[in-house]
Amino acid sequence: MLYQRSSALFDEAYKYIPGGVNSPVRAFKGVGGVPVFMKSAKGAYLTDADDRTYIDYINSWGPAILGHTHPDVLEAVQKQAEKGFSFGTPTELETEIAKLIVKNVPNIDQIRMVSSGTEACMSAVRLARGYTGRNKIIKFEGCYHGHSDSFLIKAGSGAATFGNPNSPGVTAGTAKDTLLARYNDFEQVKDIFRNNEGEIAAVIIEPVAGNMGCVLPENNFLQKLRTVCDEYGTLLIFDEVMTGFRLAFGGAQEVFNVKADLVTYGKVIGGGMPVGAFAGRNEIMDALAPKGAVYQAGTLSGNPLAMRAGLTTLELIKGNLNFFENISKTTETLDFEIGKILNEKGIQHRINRKGSMMSVFFHISSVSNFDEAANANHALFNNFFHQLLANGIYLPPSGYETWFISDAIKQNEIDRTLEVIRKFEYS
Ligand code: PMP
């Protein structure tokens, strides 16, 4: 049996941890089967509890952009650990990473560190509400901004995979302040603004969506959102938890040349440690405690180990002039070659890609919003996923997720991946 030890570990975990996992998407509930328990990771590869290795296309859901356990990051964290794990006081390191980010990301003056993407988005929305004095937000169907109550309304990622995008436990009072729009449907956004004049604090969006599979903004959608937000005095929040330091150092703001009022980060910014952040211009960030009245805090915010991992990762990315070009090229090659193989097999599909994010949808039409992503053949994706997994290729375990390509994936890994996909049989 391929996953013997994982299976035993899962049975044991199931007794003590809800559903056997500490985050639902790990459970393979969508694709079926037993989640693979990993015990180590290096470069492009994961090793599971049964000592099988996999080429990793999840990369911890984005953070491991350099590949796993990069030697420089490892050394930096080890050295930092010797100095102490957490002080609960300010450290010079926090200013160092803040400075690097503020100087190299467009349109932000200050950044506040937190410990997850959820916290970052939740706090950014509170700040937007506090700053504007308004209550409502617009979010897009299929976008995921973490598991804070306001966001679990038609949410993507695991919430979509498991068919409960509107979570029980979110009060009607909270839900009514989240207004929903279809991704890429600007007319609908305009209607919502007209019907809620003076009430919308913020529009929050994944500038390239990654939680309904990878879905790109079309027809200048982001620019149009900027314009309508300006017209109505609403803040535009880019959730760059996935896209930040991945599409470019300056994320989607840089790539699409659209300025957001607040930007949220996670994943790459922590180099594999639990980090999130939110950032914006002085006038907005000054409203935050202790300077301003909008409260937000965290015992482990700016934790030195996490800051060191993040700083070293960002410096390595910044120091490699062709970094983003290289990972985009790898992703483009995968897109092109996988597309060719699927065409030869007569399998209808669409591949969406931006930079080092991509998804394969088994669908006849283009995929520009959540409904179209939902109409893809997910049963076929699940079959594809399991055949690849059995042959040492680790894809995200859901057709509603994005593949994250790391800098450790080179020609060898591409060749091996394509060889496995060439053998894909579908019924
Ligand atoms: N925003 C986006 C775009 C995300 O993809 C995620 C997580 N995948 C989050 C927010 C929440 O981040 P976290 O899981 O670190 O709370």
**Contact in structure between 351 and 358 (CB atoms under 8 Å):** yes
Residue 158 has pLDDT above 90, yes or no: no
Average pLDDT, the chain: 97
Question: What's the gap in Å between 119 CA and the centre of ligand 1?
Answer: 9
- Determine, yes or no, domain membership for 35: yes
The SS3 of residue 28 is coil
Please give the structure tokens belonging to residue 425.
């049989």
- Helices within 257-358 (DSSP H only): 282-285, 304-319, 323-344
Percent over 90 (pLDDT), the chain: 94
Are 16 and 133 within one domain?
Answer: no
Are 306 and 196 within one domain?
Answer: yes
Among 319, 337, 356, give the residue marking a domain's end.
319
**pLDDT tens, 296-312?**
999 999 999 999 999 99
Instruction: Provide the 10 A C-beta neighbour count for residue 72.
Output: 13
Average pLDDT over residues 142-151: 96
Give residue 18's pLDDT band: very low, low, confident or very high (50, 70, 90).
very high
**pLDDT tens, 82-130?**
999 999 999 999 999 999 999 999 999 999 999 999 999 999 999 999 9
Are 359 and 215 within one domain?
Answer: no
Are 358 and 328 within one domain?
Answer: yes
Among 319, 350, 369, give the residue marking a domain's end.
319
Percent over 70 (pLDDT), the chain: 99
C-alpha dist (Å) from residue 86 to 82, 276, 307: 11, 17, 11
Please state the domain count of the chain.
2
Q: Which of 173-177, 179-183, 208-212 bottoms out in mean pLDDT, i.e. has the lowest?
A: 173-177
Q: How far apart are CA 222 and CA 292, in angstroms?
A: 29
Are 64 and 212 within one domain?
Answer: no
Q: Which atom of ligand 1 is nearest to the CA of 211?
A: 5
Which pLDDT value is given to residue 220? 98
Give residue 166's pLDDT band: very low, low, confident or very high (50, 70, 90).
confident
Q: Which atom of ligand 1 is nearest to the CA of 118?
A: 16
Are 95 and 163 within one domain?
Answer: yes
Question: What's the gap in Å between 219 CA and the centre of ligand 1?
Answer: 25
Return the best residue to mutate from 118, 147, 237 for the ligand 1 pocket (most ligand atoms within 8 A of CB).
118
Give residue 155's pLDDT band: very low, low, confident or very high (50, 70, 90).
confident
Q: Which residues line ligand 1 (CB under 6 A)?
A: 61, 116-118, 121, 144-146, 157, 206, 210-211, 239, 241-242, 266, 276
Average pLDDT over residues 132-161: 92
Residue 314 has pLDDT above 80, yes or no: yes
Are 281 and 161 within one domain?
Answer: yes
Which pLDDT value is given to residue 269? 98
Are 24 and 91 within one domain?
Answer: no
Which pLDDT value is given to residue 5? 97
Strands 200-205, 393-394: pairing kind: unpaired
CA angle 420, 383, 329 (to 5 degrees): 45
Among 286, 319, 352, give the residue marking a domain's end.
319
Structure-token match 């062709």, residue found: 322
Return the best residue to mutate from 211, 243, 359 for the ligand 1 pocket (most ligand atoms within 8 A of CB).
211
Q: How far apart are CA 54 and CA 393, in angstroms?
A: 5
What H or E segment, with its residue span, contains residue 117? helix 117-132
Name the residue at shortest CA distance from atom 10 of ligand 1. Answer: 145
Residue 165 has pLDDT above 80, yes or no: no
Structure-token match 């939680």, residue found: 211
Respond yes or no on whether the N-terminal peptide bond of residue 217 is cis (omega within 30° of 0).
no
Closest CA to 303 of 264, 268, 277, 279: 277
Closest CA to 324 of 241, 411, 245: 245
Structure-token match 């007569």, residue found: 346
Residue 162 has pLDDT above 80, yes or no: no
Question: Residue 228 maps to which CATH number?
Answer: 3.40.640.10
C-alpha dist (Å) from residue 178 to 34, 153, 199, 395: 35, 7, 11, 32
Question: What's the gap in Å between 346 CA and the centre of ligand 1?
Answer: 35
Question: What's the gap in Å between 144 CA and the centre of ligand 1?
Answer: 7
Are 82 and 181 within one domain?
Answer: yes
pTM: 0.97
Which pLDDT value is given to residue 142? 96
Where in the sequence is the domain holding 154, given as residue range(s)? 71-319
Give residue 131's pLDDT band: very low, low, confident or very high (50, 70, 90).
very high
From the number of C-beta atoms within 10 Å of its C-beta (0-12, 13-18, 19+), residue 199 rates as middle
The number of CA neighbours under 13 Å toward the Cβ of 412 is 7
Question: Between helices 186-195 and 221-232, what is the axis angle to 10°?
Answer: 10
Catalytic residues, by residue number, are 144, 239, 267
**pLDDT tens, 32-80?**
999 999 999 999 999 999 999 999 999 999 999 999 999 999 999 999 9
What H or E segment, with its residue span, contains residue 276? strand 276-280
Residue 340 has pLDDT above 90, yes or no: yes
Which pLDDT value is given to residue 167? 87
Which pLDDT value is given to residue 427? 72
Which pLDDT value is given to residue 99? 98
Residue 154 has pLDDT above 90, yes or no: no
Are 101 and 191 within one domain?
Answer: yes
Are 255 and 120 within one domain?
Answer: yes
Q: Which atom of ligand 1 is nearest to the CA of 23?
A: 14
Closest CA to 219 of 192, 256, 255: 256
- Determine, yes or no, domain membership for 170: yes
